[in-house]
Amino acid sequence: SGGISPQGYFVVTPFHLSSSDDQRTVLVNRGWIPRKTEPAVLQTNDKKITTITAVPAKFESPRFIVPEHNFEKRTLTWFDKTALTALSRLPLDTPYVQQLLSSSDDGDSLVRPAHVGGSKVSPAMHVGYAVTWYGMSVAFFFMTRKLLK
pLDDT at 3 over 90: no
- 3-state SS of 78-92 is CCCHHHHHHHHCCCC
* Residue of higher predicted confidence among 51 and 5: 51
Can you give the pLDDT at residue 136?
96
Can you give the pLDDT at residue 44?
60
Q: Note the pLDDT tens digit of each residue in 93-137.
A: 888 887 777 665 444 444 555 444 444 666 777 888 999 999 999
pLDDT at 42 over 90: no
DSSP string covering 42-90, please?
G---TT--EEEEEEE-------SS-PPPBTTTTB-SS--HHHHHHHHT-
